[in-house]
């Protein structure tokens, strides 16, 4: 591995090279992803912050430019008019995992004051989620795979119904699922006749967001909501046979919702059950599960759906490695967190700061460079 100084310099270059001063954010990759993506910008904010750069707060604030008066924050804000993700031509009708509260907490913990107006925006976004996306079982649901952030995860395969993974065909099914979406008068996705799921990772990230927000404002209401969602997730989604949290199919789908993916580990961010957290996290160190040499692998390499170089079918993702690192640190699993940090940093550099990489060889895949690969700076920070 290069020295920490080199990693920091390279991470800074990645963000600097795509920074849009007028917009106050980085598109994930100017050519491949030329718009603003919500969770990418939250991870960029965390990376900027690790670099000691105030643009962390600027980029986090920019995530709320497209927030609606009712609190909804879209998963994309378009830089040019577009209709690819719902009826609005300025922004997506869907959402993405709410990493913004964690990003705000990281920035605040590093000593930068997060202004009240931004915290108010974050609360409104969480309140929208709780009011509009909670099912009768108490879990939060999503209405399109895009909303999970893990667009082509094998957990969606029973909805997609393709004999083998084919990215182009998957794109076509995504469009069909968009047609199956119900949008409200504000062009917000509310339901789907074909795809509704309560994913373990989305629920874990949301419960974590509630707890992070609660800590920022010493807010007992949100602390209770975060604990409650974590408890529902434990009661409804824990898969004891695999030692992971499974997703729930609400409309459509089937057993693929329990395929072992890295998404099944993030319950460790919020569960109160130490034995479950440890069982899930142990799999991050196991080379037969997610702890491959250049991991974290999104699927165990022996799984029949594993494909080392195909998008969401096996490669390692820097933003998920980072969230796994946060989960490992929560349980004081220092050797595990250190291992995730080391492997993430090495692979980020070796892959040219790739969007994702082969979890066996470290070969860079997808867009290169990609903004969230700059999270490598987190591990290099003194
Ligand atoms: C892909 C990913 C999604 C990400 C986007 C921009 O669509 O699946 O999680 O936000 O690219 O990087």
d(CA 149, ligand 1 centre) in Å: 6
**What residues form DSSP beta bridges with 134?**
140
Expressed in angstroms, the distance from the first to the final Cα of the chain is 16
Query: What secondary structure letter does DSSP report for 291?
Result: -
Q: Report the SS3 class of residue 132.
A: helix
Q: How many CA atoms lie within 13 A of 380 on its CB side?
A: 28
Binned at pLDDT 50, 70 and 90, residue 349 comes out as: very high
Check residue 1 and give its pLDDT: 47
Check residue 290 and give its pLDDT: 98
Mean predicted lDDT score pLDDT of the chain: 96
Q: Under a CB-based contact definition with an 8 Å cutoff, are residues 194 and 159 in contact?
A: yes
Using most ligand atoms within 8 A of CB, pick from 25, 40, 97 the residue to mutate for ligand 1: 40
Q: Looking at the CA of residue 372, tell me the nearest atom of ligand 1.
A: 12
For 52-103, the pLDDT digits (tens) are 999 999 999 999 999 999 999 999 999 999 888 999 999 999 999 999 999 9
- Tell the residue nearest (CA) to atom 4 of ligand 1: 149
Q: Looking at the CA of residue 371, tell me the nearest atom of ligand 1.
A: 12
In the block, residue with structure tokens 């603003």: 36
CB-based pocket (< 6 A), ligand 1: 28, 33, 37, 39-40, 149, 151
Residue 37 backbone dihedrals phi, psi, to 5 degrees = -110, 135
Q: Report the SS3 class of residue 143.
A: coil
Question: Is residue 2 scored above 60 in pLDDT?
Answer: no
Residues 109, 231: Cα–Cα separation, whole Å = 26
- Tell the residue nearest (CA) to atom 7 of ligand 1: 151
In the block, residue with structure tokens 């022996």: 302
Reduce the secondary structure of 162-178 to three states and give it as a string.
CCCCCHHHHHHHHHHHH
For residue 331, count other CB atoms closer than 10 A to its CB: 17
Using most ligand atoms within 8 A of CB, pick from 15, 18, 27, 28 the residue to mutate for ligand 1: 28
Query: Percent of the chain scored above 90 by pLDDT?
Result: 95
Residues 326, 252: Cα–Cα separation, whole Å = 32
Q: Report the SS3 class of residue 98.
A: coil
- Closest-CA residue to 99 (of 59, 52, 136): 59
Residue 59, H or E segment: helix 55-62
Question: Is residue 145 scored above 80 in pLDDT?
Answer: yes
Residue 285 backbone dihedrals phi, psi, to 5 degrees = -105, -5
Q: Looking at the CA of residue 151, tell me the nearest atom of ligand 1.
A: 8
Question: Is residue 381 scored above 80 in pLDDT?
Answer: no
Region 232-250: mean pLDDT is 98
For 356-377, the pLDDT digits (tens) are 999 999 999 999 999 999 999 9
For 188-229, the pLDDT digits (tens) are 999 999 999 999 999 999 999 999 999 999 999 999 999 999
Using most ligand atoms within 8 A of CB, pick from 27, 29, 33 the residue to mutate for ligand 1: 33
d(CA 43, ligand 1 centre) in Å: 12
Q: Note the pTM of the prediction, 2 decimals.
A: 0.98
For 247-282, give one letter per residue: b (16+ CB within 10 A) or e.
bbbbebbeebbbbbbbbbbbbbbbbeeeebbebbbb
Q: Looking at the CA of residue 40, tell me the nearest atom of ligand 1.
A: 10
Check residue 130 and give its pLDDT: 98
Judged by phi (left if over 0) then psi (alpha if -120 to 50, else beta), residue 68 lies in beta
């Amino acid at each position: 591995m290069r020295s920490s100084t080199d990693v920091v310099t390279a991470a800074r270059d990645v963000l600097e090279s795509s920074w849009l001063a007028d917009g106050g954010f980085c598109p994930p990759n100017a050519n491949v992803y030329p718009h603003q993506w919500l969770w990418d910008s939250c991870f960029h904010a965390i990376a900027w912050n690790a670099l000691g750069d105030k643009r962390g707060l600027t980029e986090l604030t920019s995530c709320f430019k497209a927030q609606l008066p009712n609190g909804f924050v879209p998963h994309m804000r378009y830089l040019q008019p577009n209709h690819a993700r719902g009826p609005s031509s300025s922004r997506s009708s869907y959402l993405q995992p709410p990493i913004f509260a964690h990003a705000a907490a990281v920035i605040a913990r590093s000593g930068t004051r997060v202004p009240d107006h931004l915290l108010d925006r974050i609360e409104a976004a969480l309140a929208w989620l709780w009011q509009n996306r909670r099912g009768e079982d108490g879990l939060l649901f999503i209405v399109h795979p895009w909303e999970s952030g893990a667009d082509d995860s094998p957990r969606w395969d029973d909805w997609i119904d393709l004999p083998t993974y084919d990215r182009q065909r998957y794109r076509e099914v995504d469009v069909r699922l968009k047609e199956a979406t119900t949008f409200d008068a504000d062009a917000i996705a509310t339901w789907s006749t074909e795809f509704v799921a309560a994913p373990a990772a989305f629920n874990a990230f949301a419960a974590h967001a509630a707890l992070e927000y609660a800590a920022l404002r010493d807010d007992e209401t949100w602390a209770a909501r975060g604990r409650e969602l974590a408890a529902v997730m434990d009661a409804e989604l824990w898969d004891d046979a695999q030692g992971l949290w499974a997703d729930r199919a609400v409309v459509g789908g089937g057993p693929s919702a329990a395929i072992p993916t890295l998404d099944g580990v993030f319950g460790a961010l919020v569960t109160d059950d130490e034995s479950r957290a440890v069982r899930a996290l142990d799999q991050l160190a196991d080379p037969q599960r997610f702890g491959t040499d250049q991991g974290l692998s999104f699927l165990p390499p022996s799984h029949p759906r594993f494909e080392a170089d195909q998008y969401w079918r096996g490669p390692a993702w820097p933003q998920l490695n980072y969230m796994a690192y946060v989960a490992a640190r929560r349980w004081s699993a220092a050797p595990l967190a250190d291992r995730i940090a080391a492997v993430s940093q090495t692979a980020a550099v070796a892959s040219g700061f790739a969007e994702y990489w082969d979890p066996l060889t470290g070969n860079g895949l997808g867009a290169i460079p990609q903004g969230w690969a700059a999270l490598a700076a987190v591990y290099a920070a003194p």
